[in-house]
A and B are shown apart, each in its own frame.
Chain A
Amino acid sequence: MATLKTKSNELIHPMEHLLRMDRIPHIWCPGCGIGTAVTAFASALEKSKIDLDKVCIVSGIGCTGRVAGYVKLDSFHTTHGRAIAFATGITLGNPDLKVVVFSGDGDLISIGGNHFIHAARRNINMLVICVNNFIYAMTGGQVAPTTPLSAYATTSPFGCVEPPFNIPYIADSSGAVYVARWTALHIRRLTNSMAEALNKPGFSVIEVISPCAMYYSRINKLGDGLDMMKFYHDNSEIKHGEDTKNLDIGFQTKITVGKFVDRERPTYTESYKKWLSEIKRKK
């Protein structure tokens, strides 16, 4: 990230060229981890040295769904759950573009779960950044398919009775070529992961565990954003290469973070081009 510059003797924000400053202040609550994830992403964009004109960012609906609107790339704020399907269309319409899907756990894993596993299976060239705050926050704190067992939410007032999804495990078993998980506290490692995945062809998934100080931590009496960060600090274990089966998150249990999967597999576009040249040769 560039150091602070002066323009006609005024200090300007070092990320000004990467963010839509005319849309700031953003809508996120104090203590929320989404802003941190966006900062890491902006740093990663610079670090990866990727051509910014050729990067699209697609979001669905929800708190994290607003990310596309604050980042100065070709930004698409789509319908609930359809970000990955929309992004698949972009990559097939113009395979030269790198598409980043930046959305929340409810959007990507609940209503959009089917698109998630199929894009992973096809190995569509896109980076999925999934901010997981364990709850539907935009609508006021309802239970999500990522809410840990026994955690409270407004629609699970007696504690969540359903086991949550393990996002890296779904990504891994569906065929993603790059899978990592960090918390909003691990800014440097998160940034490095994002920069690495931006240059990785194929379907990459980075899960970002994020505090929701307004709904998740309030209803579960976990303190404010800072308390949640302290919790991440004391309870995160970095285990690179850990089997994704072992990455379940329980209520206030240890959180395993790290880079779990990094492998090579032909992308959809590569396979398609290869197949196309083969059928043309046969004729």
Chain B
Amino acid sequence: MKANPRNVNTGIYYIDGDVASGQGALAAGCRFIGGYPITPSTEAAEAFAKIAPKAGAVFIQMEDELASIASVIGASCAGVKTMTITSGPGYSLMMETIGFGAMLETPFVILNIQRGGPSTGAPTKTGQADMMQSRWGSHGDYEIIAIAPESPQELFDYTIKAFNLAEKYRCPVMIMADECVGHMTEKVVIPKADEIEIEPRRFYNGPRDKYLPFKPDKDLVPKMVKAGDGYKLYITGHTHDEKGYPILTQNSKVKTQKSTTRRLVDKIKLNADKIIELKEENTDDADVVVVSYGISSRVAVRGIEKAREKGIKVGSLRLVTVWPFPDKKITELAKKVKAFVVPEINYGQVVFDVERCSHGEANVILIPHGGAGVHHPDDILSAIEYASKENKKIEGIIEHKTKLEKLIFEEGYKLKE
């Protein structure tokens, strides 16, 4: 299905990533955003509030993030495409209801413009330390999809992709951008509506009395109906059967808890190959591969260039979708390369999965960064140089400090007993 021209403000713009994401949401057919102001994500909410009414969409500033996320799931149940916009502290507040949305299999998108944490942290500065929270933040077993854009253009393009994935797999989709990308101003091209592919909602159109709200299709995703269509839906956060009824007795005969949670996990895991998007460069003959995402990918480009100028065979694997994690790709590369270099603006999150999937076949080098800034390309270069020279297999994750961190922690903490 093509985008509705009413929602697409075709043109060439010079805007920041937040604004681009607001435009992307509208182009994707978003009809409702409930949000609460939080730096550095506010520009996205402001942009949507400005462009939505003309296209018949609604922005409401809710009383807090708890309300924002609940309203977004409510509106999605009423049959429209929805999104909320937030950053660290607000994201933490939303966690319980994100799990509720995953349990209900309601499609919705969350834009998280990550900032420095923990707590109030560095509100106006960048960070990538919510990556694991995006995956595991709510209690219980479930799977989500997370995308990490690296430019304003990508914030437009991948916001649309996020909506499409949310509708296709009926799960929360997180756009895990960061302050740097959100506040970066660049050229953004918004194409014509007929060049934008839109995934429609998976509405049920079978016989009315046969409808079961949680009976999955072959791809493990069930079909939806809207509130108000006369189906007398019963939707609950309790463990439920295909009818949607809560099943609280669990024993050797009743296995609803297992079958419910298993499918929530499997519908993403088993469709992972279709969901995952990677950008791979020069990995064919590489000794070292830089695995990165978001703003760190753009910084890595310069580091990689410098290393190649020095004759080091280095390739790049950019995770456009971070979750589900590309297990197979990392395992396949681990057999060919000497080492992975993982720059992250945190003290090690995605690197855990890189290490898990390399099965000890390749060294895994983390370049940690405390946030409120990005890596220097030379930090990436120095890690690549180290990785290419290290011939021993080293167990676990090898930490390669940035120049700045070496300066700050030159003598370590001098821990005493």
Q: A54-B228, A74-B233, A90-B75 are in contact. List 9 more A-B contacts (CB 8 A).
A: A23-B245, A78-B70, A79-B70, A82-B66, A82-B97, A85-B62, A89-B72, A90-B77, A92-B71
Q: Which listed residue, B31, B78, B232, touches A72 by the CB 8 Å rule?
A: B232
> How far, in angstroms, from A78 to B73 measured CA to CA in the complex?
10
Identify the interface centre among A22, A72, A74: most chain B CB within 10 Å of its CB. A74
Partner of A56 from B62, B227, B238 at Cβ < 8 Å = B227
Residue from B32, B80, B229, B237 within 8 A of A79 (CB atoms): B237
- In the complex, how many angstroms separate the beta carbon of A92 from the nearest chain B beta carbon? 5
Question: In whole angstroms, what is the CA distance A23 to B231 when docked?
Answer: 17
B246 touches A69 (CB 8 A): yes
Instruction: Find B74's partner among A53, A68, A93 (CB 8 Å cutoff).
Output: A93
- Whether B238 and A77, one on each chain, are in contact in the complex, defined by CB atoms closer than 8 angstroms, is yes
Q: How far is A73 from B54 in the complex, measured between Cα atoms in Å?
A: 33
Q: In the complex, which range does the number of interface residues on chain B fall in?
A: 35 or more
Interface centre among A73, A78, A91, A276, by most B CB within 10 Å?
A: A78
Given A75-B233, A85-B74, A89-B74, do A94 and B227 touch, yes or no (CB 8 Å)? Answer: yes
In the bound complex, CA of A81 to CA of B63 (Å): 13
B236 closest partner in A (C-beta)? A77
Query: Can you show 29 pairs from A to B with CB atoms below 8 A apart?
Result: A20-B234, A68-B236, A69-B236, A69-B246, A75-B233, A76-B74, A77-B237, A77-B238, A79-B96, A82-B66, A85-B74, A88-B60, A89-B34, A89-B72, A89-B74, A90-B77, A90-B227, A92-B34, A92-B75, A92-B78, A93-B74, A93-B76, A93-B80, A94-B226, A94-B227, A114-B66, A114-B67, A115-B67, A118-B63
Closest Cβ–Cβ distance, residue B34 to chain A (whole Å): 6
A77 to B237, CA, bound (A): 6
Query: Which of A20, A73, A82 has its CB near the most chain B CB atoms (within 10 A)?
Result: A82
Inter-chain CA distance A232–B72, complex, in Å, is: 41
Q: Which of B63, B79, B230, B245 interacts with A114 by CB under 8 Å?
A: B63
Interface residues on A, range: 35 or more
Q: For B72, what are the chain A residues with a Cβ–Cβ distance below 8 Å?
A: 89
Question: What is the distance, in angstroms, from A17's C-beta to the closest C-beta of chain B?
Answer: 10
State whether B78 touches A97 (Cβ < 8 A): yes
Is B73 in contact with A94, judged by CB distance below 8 angstroms?
Answer: no
Overall SS of chain A's interface: helix
| Chain A residues near B97 (CB-CB < 8 A) | 79, 82
* Interface pair B60/A92, CB less than 8 Å apart: yes
How many Å from the CB of A274 to the closest CB on chain B?
12
| A88-B67 contact given A54-B228, A56-B228, A69-B236, CB 8 Å threshold | yes
B21: interface (CB < 8 Å): no
User: In the assembled complex, how far is the CB of residue A88 from the closest CB belonging to chain B, in whole angstroms?
Assistant: 5
A82 touches B227 (CB 8 A): no
Within the complex, the shortest CB–CB distance from B74 to chain A, in Å, comes to 3
Report the minimal beta-carbon distance from B326 to chain A, rounded to whole angstroms.
32
| Chain B residues whose C-beta falls within 8 Å of the C-beta of A81 in the assembled complex | 66
- What 1/0 mask marks residues of chain B from 273 to 294 whose CB sits below 8 Å from any chain A CB? 0000000000000000000000
Q: Smallest distance from the beta carbon of B393 to chain A beta carbons, Å?
A: 47
Complex Cα spacing A115 to B77, Å: 19
Interface residues of A (CB under 8 A from B): 20, 22-23, 53-54, 56, 58, 68-69, 72-79, 81-82, 85-94, 96-97, 114-115, 118, 272, 276, 279-280
Complex A-B, nearest 6 residue pairs according to Cβ-Cβ distance, in ascending order: A89-B74, A93-B78, A93-B75, A89-B71, A85-B70, A85-B67
Chain A contacts of B54 at CB under 8 A? 280
CA distance A279 to B52 in the complex (A): 12
CA distance A77 to B54 in the complex (A): 34
Instruction: Report how far A264 CA is from B212 CA in the complex, Å.
Output: 41
Residue from B60, B63, B226, B237 having most chain A Cβ neighbours under 10 A: B63
Residue of B nearest to A79 (CB): B100
Given A69-B234, A89-B76: A78 touches B100 (CB 8 Å cut-off): yes
Q: Are B237 and A97 interface neighbours, CB within 8 A? A: no
Q: Which residues of A contact B32 (CB under 8 A)?
A: 89, 92-93
Q: Is the CB of B228 within 8 A of A86?
A: no
0/1 interface trace, chain B 70-93, chain A, CB 8 Å (1 if under): 111111111110100000000000
Does residue B121 face the partner (Cβ distance < 8 Å to A)? no
Beyond A114-B67, A115-B63, whether A93 also contacts B77 by CB under 8 A is: yes
A93–B234 contact, CB under 8 A? no
Query: Which residue of the partner chain B has the closest CB to A272?
Result: B58
Q: Which residue of B lies closest to A279 (CB)?
A: B53
Pick the contact of B237 from A72, A78, A88 — CB < 8 Å? A78
CB-contact partner of B232 in A58, A73, A79, A276, under 8 A: A73
On chain A, the residues within 8 Å of B194 by CB distance are none
- A87 proximity list for chain B (CB < 8 A): 74
A89 contacts B75, C-beta separation under 8 Å: yes
Q: Report the Cα distance A279→B79, complex, angstroms.
A: 26
A90 engages B96 (CB within 8 Å): no
**B contact residues around A76 at 8 Å (CB):** 74, 77, 227, 233, 235-236
User: Does B64 sit at the interface, judged by CB under 8 A?
Assistant: yes
Task: Please indicate the chain B residues that have their CB under 8 angstroms from the CB of A86 in the complex.
Answer: 70-71, 73-74
Cβ contacts under 8 Å, B227 to chain A: 56, 74, 76, 90, 94, 97
Task: List A contacts of B230 (CB < 8 A).
Answer: 53
B58 touches A92 (CB 8 A): yes
